[in-house]
């Protein structure tokens, strides 16, 4: 009996290690492959050259990320607060949850078509950063709501009780105790959203456009790095440029994630030992 | 000191329901000011529920329904009192210490800050005074900025007491405050309560009868949602009038 248990333990351990290796390996493979094929072709010229430089695409991407988040984050976080702190279990809450879950499952091309018809045509924004951001913010809303909700739920009830017993209102309790305690979860939500925003092509092509100009304002059309990669790959003539763009994309995302985490770390430190 | 009213808190003809279950039955009690009143009785007999009525924490429970009146200084707690003002005047210390995930200083300054005190010097004074009054100052005065969660259980509970004192209440409710603590911390906090009673009205729920004997002036014995007997602590424990009280005290049940 004992020998069999030891053997099965061992086998399971092997499998766990194997699968972990596959998962990590896949990540390293993809990132490594892209960087190896792309880094050699990144040059100052590659970025700033007037006709083929990818600077406009970098700028467009860097504008659309915060713009989308500024729209989606407050709505998402407030929705999560409502769902956890205020809503009473019932038909309405179930409806909201159902809507949120469904939104998460809609393919991005449908978002693109919707965004085109509603924001570009009906509201008259045309191909623009505004249309793109609005469409993307609907896309990332479910992620933000769900992740923030989970974070808020993990805040112990004893904190709420302690705060209310001191004479705080529910709103004060939410903003002074609950949200600060959930900050790392909220940040996770934001980082996940950034990943989604940056990787989007279908939704963006139909709402932001594909023009390679440097954007001038919110109503300018433009092209994101992901769209640019799609174009290059589709044209098939410049594989090196495609990989170089991909490499830039990965680096941009990595930098954003790292700075987001460090901001979170600073905030946590401030929270736990202020002044 | 209120000369206009004889008792600090009065509960009259109170019935408390959680949904269909009745937690308090025809409850009547008058709590003296500046005394320590202990609520004893077996588990689930309404002591904590009663306590939670006094600072309206039962408002948080959807299915809770209250009949009867509670008054503080003669004013109806439910009808004529702003709940925020009430909770400033009636503070609560919970069974398990629940410091906020922030520094010791910020924990204590939390109450005053939300009630409008912004001046740093004023806050510093309040923090120091509250920590002195909860017998914690000497132990933490050099690490006010450290996270409160790093304190021991007994220290955390004294921090929670300091936190309540910082908003300058008149009544302090304590729901089994030492049940989760070691004997030494328990004794420290019991000594504290004796001091606190000079300034505040203390109502404490306790399962520990020896504790009730040690620290309280008056004791109420709760059984199945009713107050069976309410009298001076000495009387309750030496010459109980009701047989049920006597049975509980001598350990025949509970």
Question: Where do the domains of chain A lie, and which CATH numbers do they carry?
Answer: 42-272 (1.10.3720.10)
Q: What is the DSSP string of chain B?
A: --SS-S-SEEEEEEEEEETTEEEEEEEEEEEPTTSEEEEE-STTSSHHHHHHHHTTGGGG-TTEEEEEEEEETTEETTTSS-HHHHHHHEEEE-SS----SSBHHHHHHHHHHHTT---HHHHHHHHHHHHHHTT-HHHHTT-TTSBGGGS-HHHHHHHHHHHHHTT--SEEEEESTTTTS-HHHHHHHHHHHHHHTTTSEEEEE-S-HHHHHHH-SEEEEEETTEEEEEEEHHHHHHS-SSHHHHHHHTTS--
pLDDT category at A274 given cuts 50, 70, 90 is: very low
Q: What pLDDT, on a 0 to 100 scale, did the predictor assign at position B180?
A: 86
Residue B180: half-sphere exposure toward Cβ, Cα within 13 Å: 17
Burial of B245 (0-12, 13-18, 19+ CB in 10 A): buried
Q: What is the pLDDT of residue B124?
A: 95
Identify which of B36, B68, B73, B62 has the alpha carbon closest to the alpha carbon of residue B50.
B68
Between chains, do A161 and B98 touch, taking CB under 8 Å as contact? yes
- Average of pLDDT values for B153-166? 94
**Closest residue, chain A, to B113 (C-alpha):** A168
B107 to chain A: nearest residue by CA?
Answer: A163
More confident residue, A275 or A52: A52
Distance from CA of B251 to the nearest CA of A (A): 32
Whether the per-residue pLDDT at A270 is higher than 70: the answer is no
CA–CA distance, B148 with B156 (Å, rounded to integer): 7
Residues of chain B positioned with their CB less than 8 A from the CB of A180 = 101-102
8 Å CB contact of A271 and B85: no
Q: What is the mean pLDDT of residues A37-53?
A: 82
Looking at residue B202, its pLDDT comes to 95
Average pLDDT, integer, range A149-162: 94
- pLDDT (mean) for A172-194: 91
Distance CA B135, CA B125 (A): 15
| Lowest-pLDDT range of A47-61, A142-156, A173-187 | A47-61
What's the pLDDT at A147?
Answer: 93
Q: Exposed, middle or buried by CB within 10 Å (0-12, 13-18, 19+), for B74? A: middle
Share of residues in chain A with pLDDT > 70 (%): 96
Biggest CA–CA distance in chain B, Å, is 56
Considering only CB atoms, which residues of chain B are within 8 Å of chain A? 55, 57, 60, 62, 84-88, 91-92, 94, 96, 98-103, 105-106, 110-111, 114-115, 145-147, 160, 163-164, 167
Q: Which has the minimum average pLDDT: A206-210, B67-71, B100-104?
A: A206-210
- Give the mean model confidence (pLDDT) for residues B26-39: 94
Per-residue pLDDT at A275 exceeds 50: no
- Substitution target from A88, A90, A161, A162 for chain B, most B beta carbons within 10 A: A162
Question: Measured between CB atoms, which of B55, B101, B110 is closest to A272?
Answer: B101
pLDDT attached to residue A33:
93
Instruction: Inspect the interface and report whether the beta carbons of A162 and B91 lie closer than 8 Å.
Output: no
pLDDT tens column, B79-137: 999 999 999 999 999 999 999 999 999 999 999 999 999 999 999 999 999 999 998 99
Which pLDDT value is given to residue B27? 93
Q: Is B143 exposed, middle or buried (0-12, 13-18, 19+ CB in 10 A)?
A: middle
According to DSSP, the residues that pair with B39 across neighbouring strands are B205, B220
Chain A partners within 8 Å of B100 (Cβ)? 159, 162-163, 177
Question: Is residue A232 predicted with pLDDT exceeding 90?
Answer: no
Of B88, B100, B105, the CB nearest to A162: B100
Probe site for chain B from A151, A158, A167, A172 (most B CB atoms < 10 A):
A167
A99 secondary structure, DSSP code: H
When the pLDDT of each residue in chain B is averaged and rounded to a whole number, the result is 91
Residue B226 φ/ψ, nearest 5 degrees: -120, 155
Q: Could you give the CA distance from residue A13 to residue A29 in angstroms, rounded to a whole number?
A: 23
Gyration radius (Cα) of chain A, Å: 23
The answer to whether the Cβ–Cβ distance between B103 and A272 falls below 8 Å is yes
Q: pLDDT class for A44, splitting at 50, 70, 90? A: confident
Instruction: Tell me the sheet residues that pair with B201.
Output: B171
Question: Where do the structural domains in chain B lie, given as residue ranges?
Answer: 9-249
- Whether A181 sits inside 8 A of B101 (CB atoms) is yes
What average pLDDT score do residues A141-166 get? 94
Contact A274 B101 (CB under 8 A): no
Nearest by CB to A274, from B94, B145, B163: name it: B145
- In what side-by-side order are the strands of the sheet with B218-223? B90-93, B171-175, B201-205, B36-40, B218-223, B226-232
Task: Return the bridge partners of B22, or none.
Answer: B17
What is the C-alpha separation between B32 and B28, in angstroms, rounded?
Answer: 13
For residue B3, the model assigns a pLDDT of 53
β-strands B201-205, B171-175 pairing: parallel
Token pair, residue A80, equals 């999560």
A156 to chain B, closest Cα gap in Å: 9
Q: Is residue B254 pLDDT above 70, yes or no?
A: no
Chain B residues within an 8 Å CB radius of A154: none
Least confident segment among A23-37, A212-226, B73-87: A212-226
Q: What is the ipTM of this complex?
A: 0.90
Say what the alpha-carbon torsion angle A144, A150, A153, A155 is, to the nearest 10 degrees.
-90
Residue A26 has pLDDT above 60, yes or no: yes
Domain B9-249 superfamily per CATH: P-loop containing nucleotide triphosphate hydrolases (3.40.50.300)
pLDDT tens figures, B210-245: 899 999 999 999 999 999 999 999 999 999 999 999
Residue of A nearest to B96 (CA): A158
* Cβ–Cβ gap B111/A159 under 8 Å: no
Whether the per-residue pLDDT at B10 is higher than 90: the answer is yes
Longest dimension (CA), chain A: 74
* Rg of chain B (C-alpha set): 18
> Does A169 sit within 8 Å of B105, measured CB to CB?
no
Mean of the pLDDT values across residues B13-37? 93
* A272 chain-B contacts, CB cut-off 8 A: 101-103, 147
pTM over 0.90: no
Q: How far apart are CA B33 and CA A218, in angstroms?
A: 66
Average pLDDT in the A43-66 region? 85
Distance from CA of A193 to the nearest CA of B (A): 27
* pLDDT higher at A54 or B124: B124
- In DSSP notation, B227-245 reads EEEEEEHHHHHHS-SSHHH
Question: pLDDT band at residue B4, thresholds of 50, 70 and 90?
Answer: low
Burial label, B65 (beta-carbon count in 10 A; 0-12, 13-18, 19+): middle
Chain A residue with the nearest C-alpha to that of B62: A88
| A162–chain B nearest CA distance, Å | 7
pLDDT at A265: 78
Name the residue in chain B with its Cα closest to that of A268: B102
Is residue A269 predicted with pLDDT exceeding 90? no
* Nearest Cβ partner for B92 among A165, A168, A176: A165
- Tokens describing residue B152: 């021991």
For residue A199 the two structure tokens come to: 């990787």
Residues of B in contact with A275 (CB under 8 A): 103, 105, 145
Q: Find, among B36, B43, B31, the residue nearest to B213 by Cα.
A: B36
Q: Distance between alpha carbon B16 and the CA centroid of its chain, in Å?
A: 19
Phi-psi region of A184 (alpha: psi -120 to 50; beta: other; left: phi over 0): alpha
> Min CA distance, A188 vs chain B (Å)?
20
**Closest CB to B114 among A161, A172, A273:** A172
Residue A158: its chain B contacts at CB < 8 A? Answer: 94, 96, 98
pLDDT attached to residue A107: 92
CA angle A50, A53, A54 (to 5 degrees): 135
């Amino acid at each position: 009996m004992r020998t069999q248990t030891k053997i099965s333990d061992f086998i399971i351990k092997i499998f766990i290690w194997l699968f972990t290796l596959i998962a990590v390996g896949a990540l390293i493979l993809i990132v490594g492959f892209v960087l190896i094929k792309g880094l050699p072709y990144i040059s100052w010229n590659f970025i700033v050259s007037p006709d083929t430089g990818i600077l406009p695409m970098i700028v467009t991407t860097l504008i659309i990320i915060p713009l989308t988040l500024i729209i989606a984050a407050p709505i998402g976080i407030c929705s999560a607060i409502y769902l956890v702190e205020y809503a009473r279990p019932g038909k309405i809450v179930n409806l909201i949850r159902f809507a949120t879950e469904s939104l998460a499952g809609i393919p991005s091309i449908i978002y693109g078509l919707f965004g085109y018809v509603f924001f570009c045509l009906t509201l008259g924004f045309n191909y623009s950063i505004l249309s793109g951001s609005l469409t993307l913010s609907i896309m990332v809303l479910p992620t933000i709501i769900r992740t923030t909700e989970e974070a808020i739920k993990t805040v112990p009830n004893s904190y709420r009780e302690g705060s209310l017993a001191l004479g705080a209102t529910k709103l004060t309790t939410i903003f002074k105790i609950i949200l600060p305690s959930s900050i790392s979860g909220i940040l996770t939500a934001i980082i996940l959203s950034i990943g989604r925003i940056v990787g989007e092509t279908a939704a963006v092509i139909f709402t932001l456009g594909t023009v390679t100009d440097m954007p001038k304002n919110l109503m300018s059309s433009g092209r994101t790095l992901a769209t640019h990669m799609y174009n290059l790959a589709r044209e098939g003539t410049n594989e090196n440029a495609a990989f170089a763009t991909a490499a830039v994309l990965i680096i941009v995302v990595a930098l954003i994630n790292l700075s987001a985490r460090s901001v979170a770390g600073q905030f946590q430190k401030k929270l736990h030992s202020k002044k | 000191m209120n000369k206009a009213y004889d008792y600090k808190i009065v509960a009259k003809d109170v019935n408390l329901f959680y949904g269909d279950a009745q937690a308090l039955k025809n409850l009547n009690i008058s709590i003296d000011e500046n005394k320590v009143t202990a609520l004893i009785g077996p588990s689930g007999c309404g002591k904590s529920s009663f306590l939670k009525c006094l600072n309206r924490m039962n408002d948080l429970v959807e299915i809770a329904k209250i009949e009867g009146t509670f008054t503080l200084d003669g004013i109806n707690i439910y009808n004529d009192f702003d709940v925020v003002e009430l909770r400033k005047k009636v503070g609560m210390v919970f069974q398990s210490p629940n410091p906020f995930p922030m520094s010791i200083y910020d924990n204590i300054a939390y109450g005053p800050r939300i009630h409008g005190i912004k001046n740093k010097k004023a806050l510093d004074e309040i923090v120091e005074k509250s920590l002195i009054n909860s017998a914690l100052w000497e132990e933490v005065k050099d690490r006010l900025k450290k996270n409160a969660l790093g304190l021991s259980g007994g220290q955390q509970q004294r921090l929670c007491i300091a936190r309540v004192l910082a908003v300058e209440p008149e009544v302090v409710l304590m729901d089994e405050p030492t049940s989760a603590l070691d004997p030494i911390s328990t004794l420290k906090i019991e000594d504290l309560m004796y001091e606190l009673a000079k300034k505040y009205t203390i109502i404490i729920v306790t399962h520990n009868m020896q504790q009730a004997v040690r620290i309280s002036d008056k004791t109420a014995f709760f059984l199945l949602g009713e107050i069976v007997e309410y009298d001076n602590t000495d009387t309750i424990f030496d010459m109980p009038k009701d047989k049920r009280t006597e049975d509980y005290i001598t350990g025949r049940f509970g």
